[in-house]
Structure 1
Amino acid sequence: MPPDPTPPVPAAAPSIRIQPLPYEALLEARPLAAIDLVVVHCTELPDLAMAREYGERVLHPSGTGNSGHFYIDRDGSVLQYVEPGRIAHHVRGYNPRSIGIELVNTGRYPDWLHARHQAMDEAYPPVQVQALVDLALHLRRTLPSLRHIAGHEDLDTEQVPASDDPSLNVARKRDPGPLFPWAQVLRATGLERLAGEAREAVPPPL
């Protein structure tokens, strides 16, 4: 089903706290019209403070690190670490066309690649999910080409050796995981999930 071209009106405009990462100005700029995809992540860390610390780490020769654009805490608080007009490093192969939204959730922390620690059993609180919906609707109104949504696990499907047993393979990325309420989010936002074969059918914008 194609996305609804007219997004529903959110119950309330999202309140977004702007807290740019120290290296935000070093990230490559892009036109907002290039953005057609939202990628939903979970932090796989215990709290927002640790997620911020990880986001501030410089990992690339450009002086930048890995981070989403927006972070949503368990209480529904929304923070912007990278402005949408900058390309953040949050998903391999899709960064130039996408907005990364990180939901604070423990995921597989602290043994992300341990073969016997692959369950992701922390539920997403309703207030956090509603904040995601409101943010997605806000982005639909401000980003003219936004039509698609995906989970990190939809786009990065690489299997890697388990940390405890290299003879076993585990998913490099599993977020947002099995407890993420996809049906609710798709229905509320009118965005189309980009997953499976649909990834290949939709080329990135020029």
Structure 2
Amino acid sequence: MPNPLIPGLQIQPLPYHDLLPLRATDSLQTVVVHCTELPDLAMARQYGEKPLYESGTGNSGHFYIDRDGSVYQYVATDRIAHHVRGMNATSIGIELVNTGRYPDWFDSRCQSMQEAYPAAQIAALLVLVRALAARHPSLRHIVGHDELDLEQIPASDDAAITVARKRDPGPLFPWHEVLAGVPLRHAVP
């Protein structure tokens, strides 16, 4: 992996990192903001390490930001991570540690996302996105995972009801603050 983008960045490649396809970084267009929908960074890492595909790779973002503002890089930006359907080849995934709907992601009675994003976490996100935009001038957009994956699925408690497959980063994500602090447009490419 290249030198750290930002001071304090902890580079911790996933075990299958080198199996992820390479890409030209001048093709990058979009930063996708996610939340882990898990209770902590350790569980997010554990989930990201699980091979889910025939290639031996799994689901993971490029960067993870813990609640205290610590930033981790699990996948280099010149590799395609599996974080959003249909846009992995041209996007960078940033995961914010946040419980989201955990542990009942698809229960129709548990769809509210009540954990706020701490100031330290949002400050770290701003620093990271500005550094990414400086390093990769082809980046133009920033968008939430929920704006790209619009699939509705049967609720786990009642198949007659549908719920969003993805809701992250969720209603408490401070878009106004983030957009004021980054040089990218909030737009679905």
TM-score by length of 2: 0.96
| Separation (CA, whole Å) in 1 of partners of 2:106 and 2:126 | 30
How far apart are residue 144 of structure 1 and its match? 2.0
Deviation at 1:14, TM superposition (A): 4.1
Residues 1:101 and 2:113 aligned together: no
Q: What is the number of residues matched between the two proteins? A: 184
Alpha-carbon separation, structure 2, partners of 1:17 and 1:36: 24
Q: Which residue of 1 aligns with 2:66?
A: 73
Whether the 8 Å contact between 1:148 and 1:191 is mirrored in structure 2 is yes
Q: Which consecutive unaligned segments of at least 5 residues does structure 1 have? A: 1-12
Corresponding residue for residue 121 of structure 1: 114
Question: What's the secondary structure of 1:170's corresponding residue?
Answer: strand
Q: Is the aligned partner of 1:63 residue 2:56?
A: yes
1:155 paired to 2:148: yes
Distance across 2 between alignment mates of 1:40 and 1:104: 11
- Cα distance, 1:15 vs structure 2: 2.3
Is the CA contact 1:14–1:134 (under 8 Å) kept in the aligned structure 2? no
* Distance in structure 2 (CA, Å) of the matches to 1:164 and 1:148: 36
CA contact (8 A) 1:14 1:131 kept: no
> 2:7, 2:139 → 1: CA distance?
18
Counterpart in 2 of 1:15? 8
Instruction: Establish whether residue 27 from structure 1 lines up as the match of residue 20 from structure 2.
Output: yes
Provide the secondary structure at the position in 1 that maps to 2:143.
strand
**What SS does the aligned partner of 1:116 have?**
helix
Deviations 1:76-104 (A, max 9, x none): 00000000000000000110000000000
**Structure 1 residue 190: deviation in Å?**
2.2
Read off the aligned partner of 2:154 and give its amino acid letter.
P
Aligned residues of 1:45 and 1:109 also touching (Cα < 8 A): yes
How far apart are the structure 1 equivalents of 2:126 and 2:161?
Answer: 37
Structure 1 segments (4+ residues) deviating >2 Å: none
The SS at the match of 1:140 is: helix
Q: Superposition RMSD on alpha carbons, in Å? A: 0.7
Residue matched to 2:165: 172
**Aligned partners of 1:166 and 1:130: how far apart in 2?**
40
| Equivalent pair of 2:107/2:156 in contact (CA under 8 Å) | yes
Any idea what SS the aligned residue of 1:185 has? helix
Residue matched to 1:110: 103
Pairing partner for 1:39 from 14, 32, 37: 32
Per the alignment, residue 185 of structure 1 pairs with: 178
CA contact (8 A) 1:14 1:138 kept: no
Provide, for residues 105-135 of structure 1, a one-character-per-residue CA deviation record: whole Å limited to 9, x for no partner. Answer: 0000000000000000000000000000000
Aligned residue for 1:124, secondary structure, equals coil
Give 1:22 shift. Answer: 0.3
Amino acid in the other structure paired with 2:155:
A
